[in-house]
Amino acid sequence: MSRRLPRWARVLVGISVVAAIAAILAVVVPAQADDAQSQPAAPPAADAQTTPLAPTYRVYATREGLVGYRTANGHIIQPRDRFVALPSWKALSSRNGYEFQVRVTYRDRSVVLPVWDVGPWNTNDDYWNVDRRYNDLPVGLPMAHAARRFGYNGGLDVFGRQILSPNGIDIADGAFWDDLGMVHSDWVEVSFLWLGADPGPPPPHDPWNPVETDRLTPLARVRDALPQPDGSVLVRWGGYDDVIGISHYDLQIRKLPDGAWTDWYMGAVFAEAIFAPPEPGQWGFRARAVDWLNRGQPWSEEPQLVLNFP
């Protein structure tokens, strides 16, 4: 049978336990504090990084139409439908899906639309990507536009058809007529929303001020040459600039394979000239354009046209 401790003994035991706990804390707690002091303070939480805005390019738009037809993602086109077509399979949403969307702005109207079809003209022209298929064209310039305006790829699309319109986007009827108020094909601004944050409807601006909307450097190319009866050739070139327009062209020539590039015409405001070679052999030609903001196209490394003179 156990004996109960006297009251005075129980008090002493309690005091001993409290003292023991205090002794332990005196050792452990200061050590933790010292460790905390020896560690550098945690940096303040960084502000969330701002997502870059989606790239926006000015392209020529046409109406999709084709009511009752099936789009590339299986959607049956309805009257007054709302979607767009872009010329690459890389940006096609699933059937009635919204994985890929664009903001289309026309004058003072703006709307967000899904990409449900592939076209116009091409099916592999991801012109909004920095590593686009046609990497000798600037980002934001549709291949169809380059082909139509200055003969890129011989003026043909990926299927070998002659390109008749420089369009880079098709817009379904409801968005074309009702949302954007368009009555015919025209220039629009397109923001590619899977590549960045939605910039939202643009603030009011003067639509006749081209400096606000000109985003691309100009582009030029030597197109072809016509033989002349005297043995010379008529060399022709052309160019494109989205808004401001081309101020002039610079042209250079070189004797292949090892000759250096030399100036032929600088500051040309014409688009063709007669070339009579100073000696037989192969001659290379290249052109660049400069717009009215004095922005010049970088020179191409390789000739844009090579002619052989026996």
Task: Tell me the pLDDT tens digit for each residue of 233-272.
Answer: 999 998 877 667 788 899 999 999 999 999 999 988 888 8
Q: Which residues contact 279 (CB under 8 A, 6 or more apart)?
A: 255
Nearest C-alpha neighbor of 193 from the set 134, 128, 135: 128
> Mind listing the pLDDT tens digit for each residue in 143-195?
999 888 778 898 999 999 999 998 999 999 999 999 999 999 998 999 999 99
How far apart, in Å, are the Cα atoms of 183 and each of 111, 128, 141, 165? Answer: 16, 26, 23, 17
Mean pLDDT of the chain: 82
- At residue 204, the pLDDT reads 62
Check if the beta carbon of residue 237 is closer than 8 Å to that of residue 272: yes
| CB atoms near residue 112 (< 10 Å) | 17
How far apart, in Å, are the Cα atoms of 237 and each of 48, 151, 247? Answer: 49, 9, 14
pLDDT at 31 over 80: no
* Structure token digits, residue 137: 């064209």
Domain ranges, ordered by start, for the chain: 56-204, 219-309
* Structure token digits, residue 168: 């880079």
pLDDT at 222 over 60: yes
Q: Would you give the distance in Å from CA 145 to the centre of its chain? A: 15
- At residue 23, the pLDDT reads 42
Mean pLDDT across the stretch 21-48? 41
Same fold, 56-204 and 219-309: no
Check if the beta carbon of residue 121 is closer than 8 Å to that of residue 162: no
To the question of domain 219-309 being in CATH 1.25.40.10, the answer is: no
* Alpha carbons 285 and 255: distance in angstroms, whole number: 9
**Of the segments 43-57, 75-89, 191-205, which one has the largest average pLDDT value?**
75-89
Candidate CATH numbers 2.40.40.10, 3.30.70.20, 2.60.120.260, 3.40.50.12780; the one for domain 56-204: 2.40.40.10
